[in-house]
Amino acid sequence: MSSSGTPLLPVMEHFYTIQGEGYYQGRAAYFVRLGGCDVGCPWCDVKESWDAEAHPKMSVEEIVAAVDEAGAKICVITGGEPLMYDLTALTAALRAKGIRSHTETSGAYPVRGEFDWITVSPKRYKPPVESILPLASELKVVINHRNDFRWAEQYAAKVHAACKLFLSPEWEQEEEMVPMVIEYVKEHQQWEISLQIHKYLNVP
C-alpha cells in the first residue's frame, strides 16, 4: 500500500501513444502496462510482462499523475493480465480527473473497477470467466488458425448485442491469416477487422 492507503501495482511500462487496435484505433491514449500474467499466449509480444516481480511498483497517485501530466483523456490499462488486480482505486482516481478508463483483458479474471470500456480478447490457454462477457464493450479475437473463427463465434454468442466484434490476424501469421479474415468478414458482416496499426506506424 502507498502512504495514502491505495494499492501499489507492478508497472512494466507506461507511455502516451496512439491506440493501435479495435474500436478506439487511431485515438490518443495513455497506456499503463501492468506486470503479471498466467495466460501464456505463445505469440505474446510482451512476454517480459509475465513476471510481476520483475517490475517496479507504482502507487495509484503516481500512475494518475503521469496520465494527467500527459494530457491524455483515455487511459488503457493493459498487461500482462490487468484484471489479476483490483483496479477499483485506480479507475476511481482516473474518473475523478475526467480521464476515461479502458482495459484490454483476456477475461480470465472478474472485473474489479469501474471501466468506461472493456475489451475482452479470449484466449484458449485460460478462457474467460462467464461474468465478464456481458460487460464486454468490445470482443477482439486473435486469428492464428482457421479453427479460431469457430472459437470467435462461441464468444460472440455470449456478449450483449451492442458489443463491437473484431477479428485480429495474428501478426506473425499475417500473410496467411489476413486473406482468411477478409473473406470471413465479407461473409459474416457482424465482424470487423482490427489490424495492429501501431506496428505499421512504428509507435509503442
Report d(CA 107, CA 136) in Å as an integer: 9
Q: Average the pLDDT over 16-37 and give the result.
A: 96
Examine residue 77 and state whether it is found in any structural domain, yes or no: yes
Residue 3 confidence (pLDDT): 61
Q: Structural domain of residue 65, as residue ranges?
A: 8-39+46-197
Examine residue 204 and state whether it is found in any structural domain, yes or no: no
Q: Average the pLDDT over 185-202 and give the result.
A: 89
Examine residue 87 and state whether it is found in any structural domain, yes or no: yes
The closest of 118, 101, 105, 12 to 55, measured between CA atoms, is 12
The CATH number of the domain where 166 resides is what?
3.20.20.70
Q: How many structural domains compose the chain?
A: 1
- pTM of the entire structure? 0.93
Q: What is the DSSP string of 117-164?
A: EEEE---TTSPPPGGGGGG-SEEEEEESSTTHHHHHHHHHTTS-TT-E
Examine residue 23 and state whether it is found in any structural domain, yes or no: yes
pLDDT band at 175 (very low <50, low <70, confident <90, very high): confident
Burial of residue 98 (number of CB atoms within 10 Å: 0-12, 13-18, 19+): exposed
Residue 4 has pLDDT above 70, yes or no: no
Report d(CA 73, CA 33) in Å as an integer: 17
Examine residue 114 and state whether it is found in any structural domain, yes or no: yes
Examine residue 63 and state whether it is found in any structural domain, yes or no: yes
Residue 6 confidence (pLDDT): 73
Examine residue 50 and state whether it is found in any structural domain, yes or no: yes
Q: What is the pLDDT of residues 85-140, one digit of tens each?
A: 999 999 999 999 999 999 999 999 999 999 999 999 999 888 999 999 999 999 99
Examine residue 1 and state whether it is found in any structural domain, yes or no: no
168-199 burial code (b ≥16 CB/10 A, e <16)? bbbeeebeebeebbeebbeeeeebeebbbebe
